Amino acid sequence: TDILVLNGPNLGRLGTREPEVYGSESLADIGAYLAETVPGADVQLRQTDDEAELVRWIHEAVDRRIPVVLNPAAFTHYSYALRDAAAQLKTAGVPLVEVHLSNPHSRETFRHTSVISGVASGVIAGFGRDSYRLAVEQVLRLVA
Ligand code: DQA
C-alpha cells in the first residue's frame, strides 16, 4: 500500500532542532523506523518548508487516491490553504491522519488549535516517532 508521509516546515531539522521537545532522531531515521516496523506500507517520506509545495502534494494525493499521514508542523495552527487542500481528501474518501511528535495540547496556547483536525480522519500526537508508526498502521487498517 502506497502512503505519502508528508512533513511541513522545520521538520527537516529534526535531530538538532529543540531535541528536548522533538528527540534526537532525524526525519530519515523516522523513515527507516517506519520501513522496519510497518513493512506492509510503501512509505514515501517527503518534507518541505513551503506551504505551496505541501498543498500541491495533497492535490497529488487526491488525484492519485493515495492515503496521507501529515505532520503539518506550524502550518497546523494557521494554514487555511492546507486545510482546504485536506478537505478534498475527505471529499474523495481518501484517509488523512494528522500526526505530531509532541503533544501540542501540553504546550503553548497557540498550539492548541489545529485548523487541519476537522478534516482529518484522525489525529495522533505526543508519541514521537511512534505517532508516525501508529498513523501508518491505522492507514493500513482504513484501506484494508
Ligand atoms: C509539531 C507541533 C507543532 O506545533 C510545531 O510547530 C512543529 C512540530 C509536532 O510534530 O510536534 O513544527 O507538529
- Give the global pTM: 0.97
Domain 2-143 coded CATH 3.40.50.9100: yes
pLDDT at residue 50, rounded to an integer: 98
Q: pLDDT, tens digit, for every residue of 58-83? A: 999 999 999 999 999 999 999 999 99
Is 100 a residue of the active site? Answer: yes
For the chain, which ranges sit under pLDDT 70? none
**CA atoms of 81 and 84, how far apart (whole Å):** 5
**CA atoms of 96 and 101, how far apart (whole Å):** 16
Give this complex's ipTM: 0.99
75 CA distance to ligand 1 centroid (A)?
9
Please state the domain extents for the chain: 2-143
Q: Of the residues 76, 77, 79, 123, which should be mutated to test ligand 1's pocket, given the most ligand atoms within 8 Å of the CB?
A: 76
Cβ within 8 Å of residue 141, ≥6 positions away? none
